[in-house]
Chains A and B, each alone.
Chain A
Amino acid sequence: MPDFGLAQAQGFDPGTTACLLKIRDLIYQVAGIFQADNRLSFLRDRCERRIKATQAPSLEDYCQSLVGSPGRSQEIRQLLNEITIGETCFFRNEPQLNAFRQIVIPQLVQMKSRLPFVHLRIWSAGCSTGEEPYTLAMLMLEMANTVLRGRTFEILATDLNERSLEKAKLGVYDDYAVRNLALPLREKYMRSVNGRYEVTEAVKAKVNFSRLNFLDDSRMLFMKAMDVILCCNVLIYFEGAAKRRVISHFYNNLNPGGYFYLGYSESLFGFNDDFRLIHFPGATAYRKPEREAGTR
């Protein structure tokens, strides 16, 4: 039996394990999103959904169609949809947000401390229905009397989908979306409306929503001077040259020393050599080298 490392601990037969590892590697190669061995059950579950939808006779056949067929790009996209679906909520990735609050913002403020005034620009790229930018706004409002005292900030939130943006601007959410939001923050930054939760005006005022297609080069060129860009589970929808171009736009739009956050287990490996991989406790991110810091 081949050595599958920890994958064998998931209790699948060797054939299933081999297929899942093949699919896992293909997804990583194409989309840069990785499923660790302990998440193979999740991957199998998502494959099962697509097997039903495509009426593939077995996991082996499905795997074969993904790896070998010319139409794989479309099917991989469908599978990626299944993998990333339902991940949007307030305070989605706690280690990432802890690092944002405790490391990234203080570091940026420190870097800019020699400027006459400190203004931070944060971009939630692919903001969907608004949970991420509002989370960031709440976190930063909480810092208004500490590290951000006397400093200003703005959050730009863009998405391709008009309907998502309309919902985001409305700022009304159900229980499920706010499940990770600590009660004191919920009471402070949301009000109850007919059993749902609406983000307060103070939070809404900090976020500017607009529609943006990452492939629109002329508009991407105008998103300059960002300090942090968050682009979670969006790059997976781009491939090859287009993906490289979009990443390069993000790189150019960041200030030196700026931070680039991807989604959980998402990587730029093989798509960009300019960003530096950095580790935070329980999370990774990328950073534009700092050498030109403070010169703008």
Chain B
Amino acid sequence: MTASVTLEELRLRIRKLDAVPTVPAILRPLLAQLHRPPEEVQIESLVGLVAVENSLAAKCLQMANSPLFGRAQAVSSIRGAVIALGIQRLQGILLSACMVNLMRGTAGMDVTLLWEHSLACALVSQQFSRRIRHSDPEKVYLTGLLHDIGLILGLVTYPEAIRDALATGRAQSMPLDVAERASLGLTHCEFGGIVAEEWRLPAEVGEVIRFHHAASFTEHSDYVAIVHLCDRLCQLGGLGYGYSLMEEANLAEDPAWPALLRHHPDLRQLDLARFTFELESYFVEVKRMVAVLFRV
């Protein structure tokens, strides 16, 4: 077991990341934009951010043309991609891309696994929120995409401990947050919580990052319960962190389910079996697209 890490030590390490040359130039202006309501964000400024880096522009174009985002017509310009993806989705993609860039040089985890899991969780959460008539499926998408951002920061700041946790989780079929707690005393939720605070991510995003593995959901917003349930569905569907827990899950008995039911009675009518079967095609497409993005 690695020595326990305090939140203050972690905060210091994360602050120092700004001085790391691998932090992409677009991160700061992007974070500044995330603080504004979507209707105040200028499309041209996002186009400018995407255009800074060729690889980023290519990724955005590939994603904008994916059936995952329901495009009927081909998108061939950065501006078209920005409009097709929408402001919240694009901000999420850019932020994820920045995070993944941070991981370069760390050998703790296959970057495609994280992308697959994050993207799948975002899409599943969005679909789920539509089924239960949540008021803002786009924001749900963003929270799903960024829910595990703490894991990336963990891999950058404490690579050895996170690698140990991943290996233990895989070997003992143990949830990652439990393995992390055993390995370094903190979990990716706490790592991500500090990032959300330091970078002033939107409140719902920060809440989901912190509490998506909570034991109780009644005191949190519905975003947390949705992402928690969809995170489990992705892991059960084989899009976890490279391993599946050999567990039996009754999602209707998960504490997130009744918490969500309080504000979303439509959940009672949801055909969860069919929803699960539908996800198969999303998972296939997510894997295909991530493979293209990273040329696996």
Contact A107 to B250, CB < 8 A, known contacts A3-B70, A277-B273: no
Which residue numbers of A lie inside 8 Å of B, CB to CB? 1, 3, 5-6, 8-9, 28, 34, 36-39, 98-99, 102-104, 107, 265, 267-270, 276-282, 284, 287
Interface footprint category on B: 20 to 34
Shortest beta-carbon distance from B18 to chain A in Å:
40
Q: Which residues of B contact A98 (CB under 8 A)?
A: 246
Residues on A with C-beta less than 8 A from B278 are 34, 36-37
- Whether a CB of chain A sits under 8 angstroms from the CB of B249 is yes
B-side binding surface: helix, strand, loop or mixed? helix
Residues of A within 8 A of B272 (CB): 277
Are B277 and A282 in contact (CB-based, < 8 A)?
no
* Known A5-B70, A267-B271: A280·B281 in contact at CB below 8 Å: no
CB of B16 closer than 8 Å to a CB of A: no
In the complex, chain B residues whose CB is within 8 Å of the CB of A38? 280-281, 284-285
Contacting residue for B250 out of A6, A8, A9, A278, CB 8 A: A278
B244 at the interface (CB under 8 A from A): yes
Tell me the number of A-to-B contacts counted with CB atoms below 8 Å.
Answer: 90
Pick from B247, B252, B273 the residue with the most CB of A within 10 Å. B273
Contacting pair B246 A277 (CB below 8 A)? no
Question: Which of B68, B244, B250 meets A277, CB within 8 Å?
Answer: B250
B246 touching A102 by the CB < 8 A rule? Answer: yes
Chain B residue contacts of A104, Cβ below 8 A: 248
Q: A268: which B residues are within 8 A, CB to CB?
A: 273
Q: Is the CB of A276 within 8 A of B250?
A: yes
Contact B70 A267 (CB under 8 A): no
Cβ A279 vs Cβ B236 within 8 A: yes
Known: A1-B72, A38-B284. A265 touches B233 (CB 8 A): no
Q: Cβ of B67 < 8 Å from any Cβ of A? A: yes
How far apart sit A278 and B282, CA to CA, in the bound complex (Å)? 20
Bound CA span A276–B248, Å: 12
Residue of A5, A34, A281 near B244 (CB, 8 A) is A281
Q: Does B52 contact A (CB under 8 A)?
A: no
The answer on a CB contact under 8 Å between B282 and A279 is no
Q: Which residues of A contact B273 (CB under 8 A)?
A: 34, 267-269, 277, 284
- Asked if B237 and A282 make an inter-chain contact with CB atoms under 8 angstroms apart, the answer reads yes
CB of B296, distance to nearest CB on chain A (Å): 19
In the bound complex, how far is the Cα of B280 from the Cα of A71, in angstroms?
Answer: 32
- Residue with the greatest number of chain A CB neighbours at <10 A, chosen from B68, B244, B280, B285: B280
Does the CB pair B248–A269 fall under 8 Å? no
- Residues of A close to B249: CB separation below 8 A: 278-280
How far, in angstroms, from A269 to B273 measured CA to CA in the complex?
A: 7
Q: Other than the known A3-B70, A102-B246, A279-B233, what 9 A-B pairs have Cβ atoms closer than 8 Å?
A: A6-B281, A34-B274, A39-B281, A267-B273, A267-B277, A277-B251, A279-B248, A280-B247, A280-B249
